[in-house]
Amino acid sequence: MRFSSALFLASILAVTSSHGVHNSINDDRSATYLSNPSVPSRLDRRAASSDPVQIALAHFKTVSPSATLRSNGDSYTSDDSGITHVYLTQTHNGLDIINAQGNVNIKNGKVVSSGNSLVNGKINAPAPVRRATIIDPLEALKGAIQKMGYDLDVTQARAVQDGFSTMRTAGGAKNYRIEGAKGAVEDPKAELVYYQTATGEVKLAWKLTTDLDESYMLTYANANVAGDILGAANLVSEAQYNVYPLGVNDPSDGKRVLLTDPANESASPRGWHDDGTTKYTDTRGNNGRAQENWDGTPDWENNHCAEGGEKQVFNFPYDPKAHITNTTEARGYIDAALSQLFYTSNIYHDFLEVLGFTEAAGNFEELNSGSLGMGGDAVQLNAQDGSGMNNANFMTPPDGQRPRMRMYLWNSTEIITDGDFDNGIILHDNRLTGGPARTDCLYTIEAGGMGEGWSDFFPTALRIKPGDNRKTNYAMGDWANGVGIRPHPYSTDMKVNPTTYSWIGPNSTYWKVHPVGHVWATMLYDLMWNLEDKFGYSPNPFPTFRKNTRIPKHGRHLAMKLVLEGMKLQPCFPTFLTARDAIVDADYQLTGGENACEIWSAFAKRGLGVDARTEGNDKIDGFKMPEKLKCHNKNYEVETQH
């Protein structure tokens, strides 16, 4: 089997456009921006405070003396630049003015630059005091429903004051809730605000927020003129997927969640459904095309894809407890299976890209001489493929056609399970992204076995949960077939998983790619827990990085990063010995070698210490740490006792 990791990662290199604001009926308005404004000396003295918000407020006292501003409370300091970004909203009569914002960038207590869209001059908008001229919030919502066509029934609804409000108009409060609206996920809300129009006029308005499930509408309705909609935006901007999210391995491991816009904006700037030529509304896109292949034949182009419609909503029924006993019945939830397969393949692509799998282009050109370009080479993802059972596979046809992944149904348990819902199996076989190693360098048993091992390790590291620790064991594929598809679970416990380097000798029953991979992934699992114990856990499957670096902050992410970087360093036809050394080197390059103890002790525990060796064909365990290394951490001192 050949691996084709490079193909579709190469396609992201040509991406240029971005997606961001959606469905807004607002016009493009621009704010003024002051780069390196000359800071008046008067301000310097006044802004002696080191509080960035105070500095920002003082700054606008000179830029726009008549404006009243409040902090949005969401200022933050950028790791990369050390600049603190402060955001302010203009207010009038105690109400926010929508579209009247200021932002100030501050470094070392000094204003670096600022921008604003504040109201120029005197504000002539009506005061929020004369009840008679202010439309009731329910009437404002009715106007919005009529003008915007929202699928919402408010004939039985009434407006009630919402929570404690410090601002009281003459006739009532500032905040309302609309009780009894049919069609909304929760009660619509109304807040009295001012709204700055594109021409700079300021109007009293009701800010209406309505969660209609498939869309989350923010509407600004003129509070003085019935039916006058000043602005609207759909906050549910892009695709939604009802899936087991990355981190939930399978239906026994957690629940499906309706995710909105899960694509990472930097790894997939155009989202997942746009291949550069066509913007699909179904499970096709630049990274992969997911369709059923019930008849198991090579024809697939016209097979059914899950359709998300204009709004790209992939929310299809699936009941993991349903007693499915034949494969025909399983077809009833094909759209949910396709959504999952499409989601998992794409999110894993984004994940690896963020983690630093950027060598793709080189590999790609080397292997495919540039003939497989953009767009049309998305991987073929077959759900419920009829050509087999109880497995999954990935292959690249020798003639350079698009790579193909086949996911099968499983009948090894009492009920039929569907590999399309086992993220571990999808990720394992997703070599398009899961095989960052040079694809032409893995066809020996030892090297190919490590390819399998990496493909077990990444999904396993991704399923680590809050509260797990080094005593937690995970079996691969245990939901699909009931017991797991490897000889042992992944475990740091030598009694649960006793495998060591010597197990893979060519005379052993382990001398096949999957068992060899099992031993390699076991070593990496030990390594991961050594780093988890040192750096801690983050529940987010996506890594966060140390300031100004690409070094992941948390244990499992750092482990995945070191493994990934090791793959880039290792020679062609890697062996356990060279791959181990490449991981040690990767740590040296990335961190200056601060994790040498954690890395070596994991390998030494599993017989891949400095004295491990091959003699003829045999693999000889070695449990020694490098002599010069001084390691003091209790955790792995205990572990390295043999």
Ligand X SMILES: *[C@@H]1O[C@H](CO)[C@@H](O)[C@H](O)[C@H]1NC(C)=O
Sites of contact with ligand X (CB under 6 A): 264-266, 326, 328-329, 354, 389, 411, 507, 542, 618
The nearer residue to ligand X, 165 or 411, going by C-beta atoms, is: 411
What is the spatial distance between Cα 489 and Cα 277, in angstroms, rounded to a whole number?
Answer: 44
Is-contact 190 176, C-beta < 8 A? Answer: yes
Amino acid at 267: A
The nearer residue to ligand X, 389 or 395, going by C-beta atoms, is: 389
The nearer residue to ligand X, 255 or 323, going by C-beta atoms, is: 323
The nearer residue to ligand X, 140 or 347, going by C-beta atoms, is: 347
- CB under 8 Å to 25, separation ≥6 — which residues? 229, 231, 232, 233
Question: Is 452 annotated as a binding-site member?
Answer: yes
Q: Least distance in Å: CB of 531 to ligand X?
A: 20
Q: Least distance in Å: CB of 112 to ligand X?
A: 22
- Give how far Cα 181 sits from Cα of 143, 152, 192, 210, 296, Å: 14, 7, 19, 10, 48
> Helix (H, G, I), strand (E, B), or coil: what is residue 153?
strand
Q: Kindly provide the b/e burial profile for residues 224-253, where b requires at least 16 CB atoms within 10 angstroms of the residue's own CB.
A: eeeebbbbbbbebbbbbbbbbbbbbbbbeb
Q: Least distance in Å: CB of 431 to ligand X?
A: 22
The nearer residue to ligand X, 389 or 631, going by C-beta atoms, is: 389
What is the spatial distance between Cα 270 and Cα 19, in angstroms, rounded to a whole number?
Answer: 6
Q: Which of 416, 386, 430, 420 is nearest to 481 (CA)?
A: 416
> What phi and psi, each to the nearest 5 degrees, are found at residue 332?
-60, -25
Q: Which residues pair with 620 in a beta bridge?
A: 613
Q: Kindly provide the b/e burial profile for residues 595-630, where b requires at least 16 CB atoms within 10 angstroms of the residue's own CB.
A: bbbbbbbbbbbbbbbbebeeeeeebebbbebeeeee
Q: Least distance in Å: CB of 326 to ligand X?
A: 4
The nearer residue to ligand X, 594 or 618, going by C-beta atoms, is: 618
Q: Least distance in Å: CB of 44 to ligand X?
A: 34
The nearer residue to ligand X, 151 or 618, going by C-beta atoms, is: 618
The nearer residue to ligand X, 171 or 317, going by C-beta atoms, is: 317
The nearer residue to ligand X, 265 or 594, going by C-beta atoms, is: 265
Q: Least distance in Å: CB of 70 to ligand X?
A: 28
Q: Kindly provide the b/e burial profile for residues 483-520, where b requires at least 16 CB atoms within 10 angstroms of the residue's own CB.
A: ebbbbbbbbbeeeebebbbbbbbeeeebbebbbbbbbb
Q: Least distance in Å: CB of 411 to ligand X?
A: 4
The nearer residue to ligand X, 139 or 621, going by C-beta atoms, is: 621
The nearer residue to ligand X, 327 or 635, going by C-beta atoms, is: 327
Torsion of CA 622, 627, 633, 636, to 10 degrees: 0
- CB under 8 Å to 604, separation ≥6 — which residues? 610, 622, 623, 624, 625, 640
Helices marked H in 430-573? 431-434, 445-462, 478-481, 513-535, 555-569
Is-contact 39 58, C-beta < 8 A? Answer: no
What is the spatial distance between Cα 151 and Cα 170, in angstroms, rounded to a whole number?
Answer: 33
The DSSP secondary structure of 239-275, one letter per residue, reads -EEEE--TT--STTS---EEEES-S-TTTSTT-SSB-
Is-contact 23 233, C-beta < 8 A? Answer: yes
Q: Least distance in Å: CB of 615 to ligand X?
A: 9
> Helix (H, G, I), strand (E, B), or coil: what is residue 194?
strand
Q: Least distance in Å: CB of 414 to ligand X?
A: 9
The nearer residue to ligand X, 54 or 264, going by C-beta atoms, is: 264
Angular region, 227: left φ>0, alpha ψ -120 to 50, beta rest: left
Q: Residue 42 burial (CB < 10 Å; 0-12/13-18/19+)? A: exposed
What is the spatial distance between Cα 324 and Cα 330, in angstroms, rounded to a whole number?
Answer: 6
The nearer residue to ligand X, 415 or 631, going by C-beta atoms, is: 415
- Give how far Cα 433 sits from Cα of 302, 396, 426, Å: 25, 13, 11
Q: How far apart are the first and last CA of the chain?
A: 38
Q: Least distance in Å: CB of 539 to ligand X?
A: 13
What is the spatial distance between Cα 50 and Cα 44, in angstroms, rounded to a whole number?
Answer: 11
Q: Least distance in Å: CB of 289 to ligand X?
A: 24
Q: Least distance in Å: CB of 541 to ligand X?
A: 9
What is the spatial distance between Cα 344 and Cα 288, in angstroms, rounded to a whole number?
Answer: 10
Q: Least distance in Å: CB of 122 to ligand X?
A: 42
Residue keyed to tokens 């540039």: 370
Q: Which residues are annotated as a binding site?
A: 238, 428, 452
Q: Which residues are annotated as a binding site for Zn(2+)?
A: 238, 428, 452
